[in-house]
Amino acid sequence: MKKMKGLSMLLAAMLFVFVIAGCSGGGNGESGSNESNKAAQQEPAQETAKEPEKQEPAAEEKKIDLGGDTIKIGVWYDDADPRLLKEKGPADEEQIKLIDEVEKKYNTKIEFVKFGDYNKYVENFTTTSLSGEPFADIVLLELFWAFPTLANKDFIQPIDDKLDLNDPKYIDWMKKGGSFKGKQYGMTDSAPSPYGLFYNKTLVKKLGLEDPYELQQKGEWTWDKFRDFAKKATKDTNGDGKTDIFGIAGAYGKTNYFTEQMVYSNKGSVDKDAEGNIKFSLDGENAIEALQFVSDLYNKDKSIMQPVPEDASKEFVAGKGVMYGGFSWELGGLLDNMKNQELGYVFFPKGPKSDKYVSYTPFGNMFMVAKYSKHADVAAKIMDEISLHDTGRKLAQQSWESSYPNKESLDTRKQMSESIDYISYYAIPDGGKLFENVVKDITTGKISPSTAVDKVKPQFEANINKLLQDSK
Q: Which domains does the chain have, with CATH numbers?
A: 65-192+364-387 (3.40.190.10), 195-362+414-470 (3.40.190.10)
Cα–Cα distance between 63 and 171 in angstroms, integer? 28
Cα–Cα distance between 322 and 344 in angstroms, integer? 10
CB atoms within 10 A of CB 442: 26
For 434-472, what is the HEC assignment?
HHHHHHHHHCCCCCCHHHHHHHHHHHHHHHHHHHHHHCC
Dihedral (Cα; 294, 297, 303, 309), 10-degree rounding:
30
Residue 361's φ and ψ, nearest 5 degrees, are: -145, 140
* Lowest-confidence segment of 27-41, 349-363, 364-378 by average pLDDT: 27-41
pLDDT tens for residues 162-187? 999 999 999 999 999 999 999 999 99
Q: Classify strands 156-157 and 138-142 as parallel, antiparallel or unpaired.
A: unpaired
Q: Does residue 455 carry a pLDDT above 90?
A: yes
What b/e readout covers 87-107, taking b as 16+ CB neighbours within 10 angstroms? eeeebbebbbebbeebbebbe
Length of the chain: 472
Q: What is the pLDDT of residue 204?
A: 97
Give the pTM: 0.84
Angle at Cα 369 formed by Cα 368 and Cα 373, nearest 5°? Answer: 150
Q: What is the pLDDT of residue 143?
A: 96
* Cβ proximity of 397 and 175 under 8 Å: no
Q: Which residues, 6 or more positions from 177, have their beta carbon under 8 angstroms from its beta carbon? A: 143, 186, 364, 366, 421, 422
Cα–Cα distance between 91 and 95 in angstroms, integer? 6
Between the two ends of the chain, the Cα-to-Cα distance in Å is 25
Q: What angle do the packed helices 285-295 and 449-470 form, to 10 degrees?
A: 130
* Cβ proximity of 145 and 19 under 8 Å: yes
Cα–Cα distance between 173 and 193 in angstroms, integer? 12
CA distances from 377 to 16, 73, 159, 175, 355 (A): 26, 15, 9, 20, 41
Which of 285, 238, 307, 254 is CA-nearest to residue 435?
A: 254
pLDDT tens for residues 317-327? 999 999 999 99
pLDDT tens for residues 403-420? 999 999 999 999 999 999
Q: What is the pLDDT of residue 43?
A: 29
CA distances from 199 to 88, 181, 223, 237, 375 (A): 33, 39, 16, 19, 49
Q: What is the pLDDT of residue 60?
A: 61
**pLDDT tier at 472, thresholds 50, 70, 90:** confident
Which of 383, 389, 391, 386 is CA-nearest to residue 162?
A: 383
What b/e readout covers 131-160, taking b as 16+ CB neighbours within 10 angstroms? eeebbbbbbbbbbbbbbbbbbbbebbbbbe
| Mean pLDDT for the chain overall | 89
Q: Classify strands 156-157 and 359-361 as parallel, antiparallel or unpaired.
A: unpaired
Which of 421, 429, 423, 329 is CA-nearest to residue 21?
A: 429
- Range 271-281 average pLDDT: 93
Q: Does residue 29 carry a pLDDT above 60?
A: no
Q: Does residue 15 carry a pLDDT above 90?
A: no
Q: What is the pLDDT of residue 53?
A: 46
Q: Classify strands 365-370 and 138-142 as parallel, antiparallel or unpaired.
A: antiparallel
pLDDT tens for residues 98-154? 999 999 999 999 999 999 999 999 999 999 999 999 999 999 999 999 999 999 999
Q: Does residue 341 carry a pLDDT above 50?
A: yes
CA distances from 375 to 80, 152, 385, 404 (A): 21, 21, 15, 42
Higher local confidence (pLDDT), 62 or 421: 421
Q: Report how far Cα 286 is from the mean position of its chain's Cα atoms.
A: 22
Residue 199 pairs in a beta bridge with 323, 344
Residue 177's identity, in one-letter code, is: G
Q: Which residues, 6 or more positions from 339, have their beta carbon under 8 angstroms from its beta carbon? A: none
pLDDT tens for residues 328-339? 999 999 999 999
pLDDT tens for residues 237-264? 999 999 999 999 999 999 999 999 999 9
Q: What is the pLDDT of residue 39?
A: 26
Residue 332's φ and ψ, nearest 5 degrees, are: -55, -45
Cα–Cα distance between 443 and 348 in angstroms, integer? 19
